[in-house]
Amino acid sequence: MTTTTYTMPMDTPVGPLVLESDGDVLIGIWLPFASSKVEDTAGTAPQATGAAPRATGAAPQATGPAPRANGPAPRANGTAWVAAGTTRGATHGLSAGHDAPPVLKETAAQLDEYFAQERTEFDIPMELDGTEFQREVWAELTRIPYGKTISYGELARRVGRPNGPRAVGQANGRNPIPIIVPCHRVVAGNGIGGYGGGLPLKRALLAIEGVRA
C-alpha cells in the first residue's frame, strides 16, 4: 500500500533541514551534506554518503505540493541531502505558502528551542522504520543524556553486542531521525568518529550541548 508522506524545509543555525512526516508522526529528518566522502559512523572506513538515502523524499519547492520520485533535489549551492529509511510512497514537498501537518510544525518548534539551548529533550511522536536490531540501537541512542557522549564500543555493550561496534555504528548511520534521536552523541574511542551530515555538523550539534569535540 502506498503511503503519502510530507516534507517541510527548515532553516537552522547549523544549516537547512528537511522534516518528513506521514501526516501523523515524524518519520525522517534530512541533513544537508555537501561532501563526496565521509568517515563511516564507526570511524573505521570511508563510505560514499554516510547514511543510506530514502528512495523517496522531497526538497522545498517554490510553489505548492507536488509528488517527487527520488528524494530531495540538490540545492542551488550544490548541497546534497542525506537521510536514512525506506520507501513510503508518494511524497509531497510543502512550500511556505502551504500548511504542514501539525507534527511537522511541532517538530520545527522544538528544534528551534533546541538550537536556542532552551530544550534538552524532545517530545515528538515518531516512527523509525528499520530492522529490529536497528530500532534497538536507535532506542538506546535516546537514552544518552543531553551534553553527554558515549563510544561506539559502549553503545555495542548497551545493546548486548560487546564485540559488534561496527554493526552498531552502521545502525547508527542509518538513523532516520537524527538530532532528535541523537546519533551525534556517539563518538569513536580515538576521536569524534563520523556523521552522515559531515563532521562540521556533528561538532556544531555537540557544541550546542556544551561538548567540545
Set of cell numbers at residue 47: 563510505
Set of cell numbers at residue 1: 500500500
Among the listed residues 14, 150, 183, 205, the single catalytic one is: 183
How far apart, in whole angstroms, are the C-alpha atoms of residue 57 and residue 74? 12
Query: Quick one: which of 3, 101, 75, 188 has its CA closest to 199?
Result: 188
Q: How far is CA 99 from CA 53, 92, 102, in A?
A: 26, 12, 9
Which residue in this structure is represented by grid cell 561496527?
166
Query: Is 176 in the active site?
Result: no
Tell me the angle at which helices 132-141 and 165-173 cross, rounded to the nearest 10 degrees.
80
Helix (H) or strand (E) holding 141: helix 132-141
Q: Contact 71/81 with Cβ under 8 angstroms?
A: yes
**Residues tagged active-site:** 183
